[in-house]
Structure 1
């Protein structure tokens, strides 16, 4: 989380072979046999690390999309994912997925969450488009006490961002983004009272969101 939110982003290598979220992802794929999943994460480095871990643990067809691929390579990956007998899982980085929509898929996996409601809305919009025939299912697994868990609570309980597209998302980020980032990092460090402080921030965000929605109506 810290590396994702730095400007410029920190260049890190990742290893997900023993990550608890990988077990969760494999169980999710097994529970929905034959269905296609779009997985979005922040960076190309995460896409490559996930691909490597999945190839060690699973025979599931995996395609990848990231900013270092050329246009032809992306087109081929998209075509393989779209084919009925093609890849079941498409791994996409934030930048690599720009301008692409996959409304034939109904499952969206958020490997991480961005610190920006507009980016979250864009991610969901990769599937939630004209031509989507079913309600999409959003999957996110955050370990309790992690920075991602703090973000998930803010989006879910504060902004209702997983079920709707908050029109005030940018305003909420301007008002609460800095303390949210600090609280997320505090959670990652295991700081005392972080849960209580997050409760307060989520409640304040929810109040501001409800008031904003009422004003718009």
Structure 2
């Protein structure tokens, strides 16, 4: 993180959970909780209030299951009204399908509620860098889902699997093209096809999947 204080709004329908999260944040350097909300409607009201005082949070830690307005309904509203605010989902649901849904809605992080302070801090650092962060336990589940029959990595061609491994190594399209002796346009097409087949939103998700699926190890 940079030198400034990172401001966080905590949204969860259980007061004890909100207090626990606030306690987590207290041990993370340069992080400040600027407010709490018990559901989506209250969160949007709080954001409007903070915006009026030019004190919008950098990050919203958002629960999914809440009364009146849940996280899935709240997330796109936050992204539409305050695109500069990053949303990290903090939930007890370790379900790849649910994770995929909220990532498509604009979340940049997916944490489970048993995550420790350092993992919460890592998710916030990634969010501020416009990078995606997925809970370690979730990346394993995600890889298993992607490797299931008739879906995931099994649907990729051999060339696409090679390209995915290179994405996992952090290679750019140009570097992939040079490695495989193909045009940069062809490399870009391969990456686009991979994201489409695996229902992924970004190269970051693809890279995480490649690592957890062992594709990098298979190239060594």
TM-score, normalised with respect to structure 2: 0.39
Structure with the larger helix share: 2
Higher relative contact order, chain-length normalized (CA < 8 Å, sep 6+): 1
Pair member with larger Rg: 2
TM-score computed with the length of structure 1 as normaliser: 0.39
